[in-house]
Amino acid sequence: MSTLPVVVAVDGSDDSLVALDWAFDAALLHAAPLRVVHVQQYPAWARPGMLPAGRTAPEDDPVLDHVRRYLAGRVEQPEVQYRALDGAAGVLLPELGAEARMLVLGSRGRGGFAGLLLGSTGMTVARDAACPVVVVPKPGSRVVEDTQVEPGPRVVVGLQVDSPDDATLSFAFTQATAYGARLQVVAAYSWPAHIWTAAPAQILPPSVDQDAVEGDTRALAEGHLAPYRERHPEVRAEPYVAPGDAAGLLVSASKDAQLVVVGRHRRRLLAPARMMGSVAQAVLLHAASPVAVVPPAPPAPPEE
């Protein structure tokens, strides 16, 4: 059985070269092939299969030629494959996720606006791809970070204790193993918990103690992590339980992290279309480290 490749999208921009470097290292780390893809978008009026001006064949691609020169001379290299496509990147790139270990993008390509940290194509791919999508930010991205963290390699993952996602946790533990990193598991809880009364604009103080809420959240987190720790004894997984907004805590924790892992969104009965959750969107837009958005595991087939 062949190893699924790490797929990286390039467009000649500096951001896509940053993503290329990250994907190159990830392919080496996982002993996987690296597939470099350039999608040259045709105009809206063009028919599928019509070549853009200046192109005589998909193989004649100056962006991929530049990548070949950029990677030439590196001592250790994975197997590198090159693929040129014509069409709409937001449509073609998610389709590549069906045969990929992960799909890697820069935070903003040539088509993006200077004020946006993540272009619309990146958000679309992260929402629609069947594999984890890693978005790599510009070097030097900063966040406001109030807490001190232990030095050393670290992978961060968000855990929703009332509905944990197996695909997200499995991916995070696998990445922590590959990096030889500890896993920081961020479990947020809402506080203060206000209770509204029937009287207009009257709020009662919380009926439970904050320490009790934090203790219950930590206990749930530890319970969810137990089977993963058994499968990955080499990973030191540490819950970070704190009050506040999950997205804000994950963005803060992204400083100096190798990777932040978030779940995309679960499909709901009344909303079966693919969706990007608000936490994943916020982390994609503001994190200082690469962010992996993991699609939910497919539902198990019904028992006969």
Q: In this structure, what CATH number is given to the domain that contains residue 110?
A: 3.40.50.620
Choosing from 87, 108, 136, the residue where a domain stops is: 136
Do 104 and 70 lie in a common domain?
Answer: yes
Q: Are residues 79 and 40 in the same domain?
A: yes
- pLDDT band (50, 70, 90) for residue 201: low
214 or 108, higher pLDDT: 214
What average pLDDT does the segment 98-110 reach? 84
Structural domain contains residue 265: yes
For the segment 43-57, the average pLDDT, to the nearest whole number, is 50
| φ/ψ (deg, to 5) at 282 | -65, -40
* Residues above pLDDT 70, as percent of the chain: 77
- pLDDT tens profile 172-185: 999 999 999 999 99
pLDDT band at 103; cut points 50, 70, 90: very high
Do 160 and 114 lie in one domain? The reply is: no
* pTM assigned to the model: 0.85
Question: Quick one: pLDDT band at residue 212, thresholds 50, 70, 90?
Answer: confident
Same domain, 162 and 117: no
Structural element, H or E, at residue 87: none
β 203-204/237-243 pair status:
unpaired
Query: Same domain for 99 and 211?
Result: no
Contact 176, 152 (CB under 8 A): no
Query: Are 102 and 216 in a shared domain?
Result: no
- 171 and 288 fall within a common domain: yes
The predicted pLDDT at position 59 comes to 62
Co-location of 161 and 31 in the same domain: no
Of residues 244 and 232, the one with the higher pLDDT is: 232
Dihedrals phi, psi of 15, to nearest 5 degrees: -60, -40
- Residue 145: inside a domain: no
Give domain status of residue 122, yes or no. Answer: yes
- The per-residue pLDDT for 117 is 45
Give me the number of domains the chain comprises.
Answer: 2
Q: Give the number of C-alpha atoms closer than 13 A to the C-alpha of residue 42, restricted to the C-beta side.
A: 18
How much is the pLDDT for 138?
Answer: 82
Q: Which residue has the higher pLDDT, 291 or 45?
A: 291
Nearest to 192 by CA among 202, 207, 181: 207
Q: Inform me whether the pLDDT recorded for 51 exceeds 70.
A: no
| More confident call, 272 vs 221 | 221
Residues 218 and 97 in one domain: no
Last residue of a domain, one of 136, 162, 186: 136
Radius of gyration of the chain measured on its C-alpha atoms: 21
Q: Determine the pLDDT at residue 247.
A: 92
Q: Are 109 and 44 in a shared domain?
A: yes
- The predicted model gives 55-61 an average pLDDT of 60
**pLDDT, mean of residues 150-166:** 91
- CA angle 285/236/214 to nearest 5° reads 70
Q: Mark whether 87 and 177 lie in a shared domain.
A: no
269 falls in which pLDDT band (50, 70, 90)? very low
Q: How far apart are CA 59 and CA 62, in angstroms?
A: 9
Across all residues in the chain, what is the average pLDDT?
82
Asked whether residue 271 carries a pLDDT value surpassing 70, the answer given is: no
pLDDT level of residue 202 (50, 70, 90 thresholds): low
Is residue 147 included in any domain, yes or no? no
pLDDT at residue 295 greater than cutoff 90: yes
Q: Is residue 299, in this structure, part of any structural domain at all?
A: no
User: What's the domain range around 80?
Assistant: 6-136
Residues 189 and 285 in one domain: yes
- Would you say residue 56 lies in a domain? yes
Does residue 247 fall inside a structural domain? yes
- pLDDT at position 151 is 84
pLDDT above 90: percentage of residues in the chain: 51
Does 303 reside within a domain?
Answer: no
The predicted structure's pLDDT at residue 43: 54
Residue after which a domain boundary falls, among 70, 104, 136? 136
